Amino acid sequence: MENTSQSTSLKLVAYVELNYLRYLYFAIVFMLYATIIIINAIIIGIVCTDKSLHEPMYIFLINLLINDVVGGTSLCPSILVYLLSNSSEISREYCLVQIFWLYVYGGCEFVMLAVIGYDRHLSICYPLYYNSIMHSRRVSNLIVFSWIFPLSLVSISVTLASQVQLCGNTIENIYCDNYCLNKIACSDMTHIITFDTLLIFLISVPQIFLLLYSYAKILQICLRASRESQKRALSTCMPHLVTLLNYFIGVIFQIIQSRFNLTQVPTVIHSIFSVYFLIIPPLLNPVVYGLKMQQIKLRIIKILMDK
């Protein structure tokens, strides 16, 4: 196999097969990306400008939506450029940049969802002590942790990936991810695979336990509460549960498209699996929270009526 470890470019071969309908795909991705920016900006703007919404729940929501915008922006513009370009080449440096932001987005999203679940647990199980427990310093610390913890781990992973020697230059996707890069590597990957396994463990397992613990406590309280209290708790938790479900669907699609042989699957289906994680959560999250959280919904209605 030809050693291309010194090569400065890789090929995203999926764009070659998407070329025959590239203008249609460009229009679809562009409209979805523009919608992501607009609806997230609306919710972020409402929460930031309305002082009555400056509560921990809404502050955590703002960080989730900012991360959604970062995730969509990290790859959607480059996808649009490649759809209009005759070239499917990508520099190795930019490939690593894509990997970095893809995993920062995914890692931050899950940590933030775990923090929001913990916040819902406190508000439902300890309503009288909620404000004293979730004080401004704790909120700030949780937000900083949600960003810095995944970012630090992913930085180490991408630094290790940058040292890998490559014996190929073909990426069978519309963007780079670590697994695709590992498939064309010819150097020893043991230390990188070990660290990536540790990264997945640290970002997923503690958060899963926190979510399970939070919802076990919420369920325990709801079973002893009145029907009206149960409805209020369900209404409070529903946006978070929908967001969690959507996140896990995106992760499953991401695993399918990167780790399984999809040579028999049409490239457009493969590409849909690839972009689901980048487009659907950022598209759905502000809609779910905007419709389900009464204060935000009332604020949106008031803005529309004033106009």
Structure tokens at 293: 């959280």
pLDDT at 161: 87
96-105, 179-188, 231-240, 294-303, range with greatest mean pLDDT:
96-105
- Decide if 123 is inside a domain: yes
- Decide if 4 is inside a domain: no
- In whole angstroms, give the CA distance from residue 111 to residue 142: 9
pLDDT at 8: 67
Kindly tell me if the per-residue pLDDT of 22 is higher than 90: no
- Decide if 158 is inside a domain: yes
Q: Could you give the number of structural domains in the chain? A: 1
- Decide if 21 is inside a domain: yes
CATH number, domain at 158?
A: 1.20.1070.10
Q: pLDDT tens digits for 155-206? A: 999 998 888 888 888 888 889 888 888 888 887 778 888 888 899 899 999 9
- Decide if 211 is inside a domain: yes
280 against 9, higher pLDDT:
280
pTM: 0.90
- In whole angstroms, give the CA distance from residue 109 to residue 65: 9
- Decide if 72 is inside a domain: yes
Percent of the chain at pLDDT > 70 equals 94
- Decide if 2 is inside a domain: no
- Decide if 1 is inside a domain: no
Kindly tell me if the per-residue pLDDT of 305 is higher than 90: no
Q: pLDDT tens digits for 247-293? A: 999 888 888 877 776 667 777 888 888 889 999 999 999 988 877 77
Give the pLDDT mean for 34-49.
91
Q: 91 lies in which domain range?
A: 9-306
Q: pLDDT tens digits for 61-89? A: 999 999 999 999 999 999 999 998 878 88
